[in-house]
Amino acid sequence: MKIAIYSRKSKFTGKGDSIENQIEMCKAHIKANIHGEHEFIIYEDEGFSGGNINRPEFKKLMNDIKHKKIDLLICYRLDRISRNVSDFSSVLEVLQEYKVDFISIKEQFDTSSPMGRAMIYIASVFSQLERETIAERVKDNMLEMAKNGKWTGGKIPLGFKSKKVSYIDDTGKKRYKTSLEHDSKDLEFVKFLYEKYLELGSLHKLEVYTHQNNIRSCSGRLFEKSTLKIILQNTIYVKANPNVVDYLTTHGCKVYGEPDGIHSLLSYNKTESTHKNGKSTKCRKNPSETFAAISNIQGYLEPELWLKVQLQFDKNKETFPRLGKTHNALLTGKLFCGVCKSRMLIQHGQVSPKTGKKRFYYVCYLKRTSQRKLCNPKNVQLDKIENVVLKSLKNLSYDKNLFLNNLQGKNHNNNNSTELLSLNKSLEEKKSQIDVLLNKLSLDHDDLLTDILFDKITKLKKECIEIENKIDSIKKESLIKENDALETSLIEKLISKCSYIENLSHEEQKQLINSLIENIYYYPPDEFGNDKIKINFIGSLDTN
């Protein structure tokens, strides 16, 4: 019987004590309760949460189950598999589909009976309830800390540095907490940004100013509007007074604590994580759920300066022009400047006197924000470059076989099945030789002969390990080829659609571009007036 032992622990320590203990307990349980010969296959995930099943060794386990390499799965405790009911339910369905029994030692569950399966579902419900209760309790504690103005962690704002401080709690134990301290040089720069924003009057102009003067962050990146906005609206910089509190409350933010004109405010609960299409993204919460608290961190900016900046934001918001949507352009996110490698954005042009339609251009992001100082390539007309890309995709459909052969690369169809049969036969022969030698060893008590037999057995075992490694390598290679074949089949269908790409809808054209093209670089006209684009298709097949 081939038995899979799965072990997991949430924190990575490098020692693996907990994981080793789980494995030994599983082995002991099998030997005590299931008679006969067993082959144990170990799967270990160290440093992975039970909140989801996105774990490397667990994925490998499920893949082996689907390839019918496992007869029984055992783990020390149910939550080692998953703490999520829906995840566990899907795992149990796979086990049932491929007729793999499941044992959980701690809960004494066995899926070989209907009652065992029902009890596992019930236990998984309580396991998820426990996890969610713990998460809620931690969140509530963090919010209570926040309401008292304590730093609860996260990205350290510009102008501050963290310091670990020790203290003695109510029980007499030594604890540590992180506090924030001023970084005078960076805070002077923050004040400069506030004053420059008021001078220029808009976030866009401030972004342009920082790019023109090559002002960069500590990590060497140019400041973008989103980063500047976070700095200019952060309450951690202001010496909170009643006027600041009034401004926040009128904008729907609850404020805890009494302002003293010295300490700043920390704001909380502004964003939340949401899961969509398997991805985790952050989105802003309703302003009514946001709150701020007087902190124990000293403010730096005077309230008057901070409030002037916020009022300027409010004024700009009311007068901001509503432009037409441009995110439907075909090459958005794929087109880059060939000179500076910055992304190219859409820019509105004038209405054409001939067609009466508005013109749109792709413009280098760095050119626009630096007012041509850091990069100055020619803008390219939207329909001109998009037509070239669509034509390239249409031409790709004519050279489909060449493209697919290039994509497959070195994936030659080796006769793996013949090699596997040969290796398995050789492995069986060597194992039989080991058994014969072990029998001789048990009957003979001559020391000289014993040493010779031991050497032969050791050599044969080493050869067996080498053969097993080769077998595993071939099986993995075969699996990769299977996946590549599926991917190639999908790409072939997409390329076939390119033969009539001009008749497809805008969304379908965009889907083909996103699926078949890695990126596109536009190079402005040379001395002869010739401009060009470089299209990098998936599989690194370049077209100029």
Kind and range of the H or E run holding 281: strand 279-284
Q: Please, what is the end-to-end C-alpha distance for the chain in angstroms? A: 58
Q: For residue 456, what are the contacts with CB-CB under 8 A and spacing of at least 6?
A: 437
Q: Is the separation of the CB atoms in 234 and 347 below 8 Å? A: no
Q: CA-CA distances (angstroms) from residue 231 to 245, 452, 486?
A: 18, 76, 47
Quote the pLDDT of residue 469.
Answer: 81
pLDDT at 278 (0 to 100): 43
3-state DSSP assignment of residue 53: coil
Long-range contacts of 211-219 (CB under 8 A, 24+ apart): 211/366, 211/369, 211/370, 211/371, 211/373, 211/374, 212/370, 212/371, 212/373, 212/374, 214/374, 217/158, 218/158, 218/186
| pLDDT the model gives residue 243 | 94
Burial class of residue 81 in the structure, from the number of CB atoms within 10 Å of its CB (0-12 exposed, 13-18 middle, 19+ buried): buried
Tokens of 479: 């699996």
- Tell me, rounded to whole angstroms, the distance of Cα 148 from its chain centroid: 33
pTM: 0.49
For the chain, 544 residues long, the average pLDDT of each consecutive 10-residue run is 91 71 90 88 89 88 93 89 74 86 81 67 65 67 62 82 80 79 92 95 90 86 90 94 92 87 85 55 70 88 95 83 58 90 87 80 89 87 92 88 68 59 82 75 62 76 84 70 60 87 89 88 88 82 45
Q: Which among 144, 147, 151 has a CA at the least distance from the CA of 180?
A: 151
